[in-house]
Amino acid sequence: MCAKMIDKFGSDEIKARVLPRAMTMETVLSYCLTEPGSGSDAAALKTRAERTNEGYALNGTKA
């Protein structure tokens, strides 16, 4: 899952540095998520990011 996100959204520099080591298991990738009331249920997350002129604005509560 993490390698797919890096492949899709990562910069060329990050892809070149991280993905080869992840594919050989030299590096282990992981991600975490949590929110009050949803735990690790990704479908229950309510925090959202909205694109702005300056980047992104996050709306929600993180635990």
Whether 31 and 12 have beta carbons less than 8 Å apart is answered as: no
Domain ranges, ordered by start, for the chain: 2-59
Q: pTM above 0.75?
A: no
Cα(27)–Cα(15) distance, integer angstroms: 13
- Cα angle at 3 between 35 and 1, to 5 degrees? 45
Q: Which residues pair with 50 in a beta bridge?
A: 57
The rounded mean pLDDT for the chain is: 90
pLDDT beyond 90 at 39: no
**How large is the average pLDDT for residues 29-34?**
85
Sign of the Cα torsion 32, 33, 39, 40 reads negative
pLDDT beyond 80 at 40: no
